[in-house]
Amino acid sequence: MKIGFHTDAFNSAYWSFEKCLEWAKRNDVHYIECGLIDGVSWIHGLGYQPHVALYEDPVLLRRKMDLYDVQFSQVDAAYPLSQEDGPMRGVPYVMKAIAWAAHAGCPCVDTTDGLHAPEGLQDREAVDLMKRSYLQILRVAEAHKIIVNIEPHGYFTTNPDMMAEMLAFSDSPYLRMNMDTGNTFIAGRDPVAFLNRFVHRVSHVHVKDVSESLAKTLRGGATGIAVSHCSIGEGVNADNIKQCLEILRSSGYSGVLSIECEGAGGPMIEKSLAWLRATLKTLGITEEK
């Protein structure tokens, strides 16, 4: 398996994307995931946001990344498609992200629903809306040969029965799932059972722990968290992560394990990286670089 990380780790440190590339090179990490920005913002323009804007040329960026020996595992275009404005704002955003990803040499684009039940829509209306949206998106994904992942991160997607229905929107090989160990746990689900059910559809994995205090406060009352607020391996979800790695090993998964952890400028994500590498070694899983 391959190890990568989401640049969300360095949101609070106000790092630029290139500074994240430097961190990756220092720590011998060769896969990166970031959010895509559809527009201009001052905080990104000044270099205080570790994500990439769609106005940046993807081929030139790929050449810069080659200098650091880092490539994209996935880009994040997770505008909540279950909301009433999903077709108007989310669909064009994801479509642009797919075309951009193809030029950037990125194999996957991440998508999801909203954290809460959508205002102004019944559940069935929202699911039907998402189906139409995903079918539109998949036409573009198939043209560019880019995988569209659905991430368990919201009201619908952290419900395994709803996730099954969403993955059945199409039999396209380009509709897959991004497993997230932290979101499934914080939503009150069993990450191990969740992964077992969908492992054959997984093309990308977010490795995310949950601190004991956060679990006591939010578990079962939230559907997702941006990052782990403790080093991976030090939270109450660590054993679930190990079991998920065993399931992935048994299924023949050879994709990226993308660390989602508060970076705190370096120390926490570096501890997470060390734990993940040690755990892979213990489980007899080779880290591919």
CA distances from 130 to 73, 78, 115, 116, 230 (A): 25, 13, 14, 15, 33
What proportion of the chain, given as a percentage, has pLDDT over 90?
A: 98
pLDDT at 101 over 90: yes
- Return the CATH number at 191: 3.20.20.150
Query: Residue 265 has what pLDDT?
Result: 87
Cα distance between residue 283 and residue 98, in whole Å:
35
Residue 36 lies in a domain: yes
86 vs 208: CA distance, rounded Å: 27
Residue 247 covered by a domain: yes
Query: In this prediction, what percent of the chain has a pLDDT beyond 70?
Result: 100
Q: How many domains does the chain have?
A: 1
In a domain, residue 225? The reply is: yes
Whether 181 is in a domain gets the answer yes
Contact 205, 248 (CB under 8 A): yes
115 secondary structure, DSSP code = S
Domain-embedded: residue 287: no
pLDDT, one tens digit per residue, over 123-154 is 999 999 999 999 999 999 999 999 999 999 99
Q: Which domain holds residue 221?
A: 2-282
pLDDT of residue 264: 86
Rounded Cα distance, 148 and 151, in Å: 10
**Geometric angle at alpha carbon 108, from 198 and 273, rounded to 5°:** 80
pLDDT value of residue 169 = 98
Q: 288 lies in a domain?
A: no
Q: Which pTM does this prediction carry?
A: 0.97
Q: Is residue 289 part of a domain?
A: no
The answer as to whether 168 is a domain residue is yes
